[in-house]
């Protein structure tokens, strides 16, 4: 099965350099590797010192590089939907857009990048796909899109095709315009199926995240927020790479100061990610460019594991009659956390991020007694609801 490594981190931390170095090292180790530039820039061209386009390009033995061409992807999808609308546009007096008139909508590129990733995985031509994602503040919402869009689509266009077909003549007569045809539901099912594929891909044990940071107090605070958001959406962190660790034995007092900051950052990251490997890239004299120099960079952190990381199943502990749901949320500030129950779902908000989690069947028959955040884990206490819980006669 194809292994997927998503590389993100903080702005200016060297995400593209680390992603390219990871891909170069994996290819040299004999793994068929694809480096997918999904951050919307041409930085990977500069780092690898080769031109990268929308079509897969073999840079060296075992290493293929591809950049997501957002505009082309968006044009193709838009024209497909416009073609399906067909006569309906003419009825309401709307002229179809030409290809030259189409502009990419904000946020569309993120969804399209994930679709390109899904196609690459489906091709089964690669052992490892390294994805150069945008910075974490944009990458986290990007990775949450399939789950959120699937939910919205399910609410707005439920699959009730038989009822729609029966009512269509009546609705058409009343409204005076054609009602949605079968293609509406066919499109909804197609999009839903694609979103489910993306959700399964991002949630698979073979998909993990490599986080790249630079030393510093501000960077550490941003890393905490990124770790909290990634954990909220269930993404597993493969490792953390600290880029730009100064040499402690330098006679230059400014370098020594940077080394001290780096040590403090590393210590804090070890406490934040106690079970996650930590790689350290020293401050380099020049910016690494080209495959040879990138291979040297990769020597400072470990190779990508072949198996991935098992998904967390949100363990449930028992304390007498009380059931406790454990949700890891490392780096979460208590003041940024909000919890609400909505039917059989938990609505968890951490800062600007929100996720709806469906409760396990046993907890749906319970009431929430309370919750607490301790050691990076949210513990939600449930008590059986006597009105719905079947008790064994004494």
Q: What local confidence, expressed as pLDDT, does residue 161 receive?
A: 46
Cβ contact 349:338 at 8 Å: yes
Q: What local confidence, expressed as pLDDT, does residue 96 receive?
A: 53
CATH 3.40.50.300 spans which residues of the chain? 3-71+104-298
The mean pLDDT of 11-35, rounded to a whole number, is: 95
Q: 250 or 237: which carries more pLDDT confidence?
A: 237
With 60 as the cut, is the pLDDT of residue 168 above it? no
With 80 as the cut, is the pLDDT of residue 296 above it? yes
- Which of the 8 DSSP states describes residue 387? T
Task: Supply the DSSP string of 179-217, one letter for each residue.
Answer: PP-HHHHHHHHHHHHHHHHHHHHHHSTTEEEEEEE-SSH
With 70 as the cut, is the pLDDT of residue 50 above it? yes
Nearest to 383 by CA among 369, 362, 364: 369
Percent of the chain with pLDDT over 90: 45
Q: How confident is the model at residue 104 (pLDDT cuts 50, 70, 90)?
A: very low
Its pTM stands at 0.83
Q: 394 or 338: which carries more pLDDT confidence?
A: 338
The mean pLDDT of 199-214, rounded to a whole number, is: 93
CATH of 316-384, one of 3.40.50.2300, 3.40.50.1820, 3.40.30.10, 2.60.40.790: 2.60.40.790
Q: What local confidence, expressed as pLDDT, does residue 284 receive?
A: 87
Q: How confident is the model at residue 48 (pLDDT cuts 50, 70, 90)?
A: very high
Q: What local confidence, expressed as pLDDT, does residue 173 receive?
A: 54
The mean pLDDT of 155-168, rounded to a whole number, is: 55
- The pLDDT mean for the chain works out to 82
Give residue for tokens 């857009």: 97
Q: Which of 85-89, 128-132, 293-297 has the lowest mean pLDDT?
A: 85-89
The CATH architecture that domain 3-71+104-298 belongs to is 3-Layer(aba) Sandwich (3.40)
Task: Supply the DSSP string of 316-371, one letter for each residue.
Answer: EEEETTEEEEEEE-TT--GGGEEEEEETTEEEEEETTEEEEEEPPHHHHTEEEEEE
Task: Supply the DSSP string of 67-125, one letter for each residue.
Answer: E--HHHHHHHHHHHHHHHHTHHHHHTT-PPPPGGG--PPTTHHHHHHHHHHHHHHHHT-
With 50 as the cut, is the pLDDT of residue 112 above it? yes
φ/ψ of 19, rounded to 5, equals -60, -45
With 70 as the cut, is the pLDDT of residue 107 above it? no
261-275, pLDDT tens digit by residue? 888 889 999 999 988
The mean pLDDT of 78-102, rounded to a whole number, is: 52
Instruction: List, as own/partner pairs, every contact residues 352-359 make where C-beta atoms lie below 8 angstroms and the sequence separation is at least 24, other chains included.
Output: 353/140, 353/141, 353/144, 353/228, 353/229, 353/232, 353/233, 355/144, 355/147, 355/232, 355/233, 356/151, 357/314, 357/327, 359/325
With 0-12 / 13-18 / 19 or more C-beta atoms within 10 angstroms meaning exposed / middle / buried, residue 267 is exposed
Q: How confident is the model at residue 33 (pLDDT cuts 50, 70, 90)?
A: very high
Cβ contact 278:298 at 8 Å: no
């Amino acid at each position: 099965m194809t292994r997927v490594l998503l590389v993100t981190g903080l702005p200016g931390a060297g995400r593209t350099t680390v992603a390219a170095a990871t891909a170069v090292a994996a290819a040299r180790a004999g793994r068929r590797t694809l480096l997918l530039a999904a951050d919307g820039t041409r930085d990977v061209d500069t780092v690898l010192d080769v031109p990268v386009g929308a079509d897969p390009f073999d840079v060296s033995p075992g290493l293929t590089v591809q950049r997501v061409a957002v505009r082309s992807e968006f044009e193709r999808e838009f024209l497909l939907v416009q073609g399906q609308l067909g006569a309906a546009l003419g009825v309401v007096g709307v002229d179809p857009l030409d290809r030259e008139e189409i502009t990419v909508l904000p946020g569309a590129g993120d969804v399209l990048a994930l679709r390109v990733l899904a196609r690459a995985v489906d091709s089964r031509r690669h052992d490892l796909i390294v994805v150069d994602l945008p910075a974490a503040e944009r990458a986290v919402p990007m990775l949450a899109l399939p789950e959120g869009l699937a939910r919205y689509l399910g609410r707005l266009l439920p699959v009730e095709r038989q009822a729609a077909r029966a009512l269509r003549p009546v609705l058409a007569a009343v409204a005076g315009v054609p009602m949605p045809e079968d293609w509406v539901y066919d499109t909804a099912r197609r999009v839903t199926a694609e979103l489910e594929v993306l959700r399964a891909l991002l949630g698979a044990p073979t998909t993990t995240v490599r986080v790249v940071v630079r030393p510093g107090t501000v960077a550490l605070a941003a890393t905490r927020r990124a770790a909290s958001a990634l954990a909220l959406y269930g993404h597993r962190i493969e490792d953390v790479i600290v880029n730009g660790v100064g040499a402690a034995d330098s006679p230059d007092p400014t370098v020594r100061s940077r080394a001290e900051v780096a040590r403090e950052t590393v210590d804090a990251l070890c406490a934040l990610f106690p079970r996650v490997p930590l790689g350290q890239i020293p401050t380099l004299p020049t910016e690494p460019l080209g495959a040879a120099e990138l291979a040297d960079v990769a020597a400072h952190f470990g190779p990508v594991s072949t198996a991935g990381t098992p998904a967390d199943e949100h363990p449930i502990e028992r304390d007498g009659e009380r059931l406790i749901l454990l949700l890891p949320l490392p780096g979460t500030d208590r003041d940024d956390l909000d919890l609400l129950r909505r039917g059989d779902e938990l609505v968890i908000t951490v800062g600007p991020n929100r996720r709806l989690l469906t409760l396990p069947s046993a907890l749906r028959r319970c009431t929430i007694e309370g919750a607490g955040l301790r050691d990076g884990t949210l513990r939600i206490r449930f008590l059986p609801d006597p009105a719905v819980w079947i008790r064994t006669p004494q």
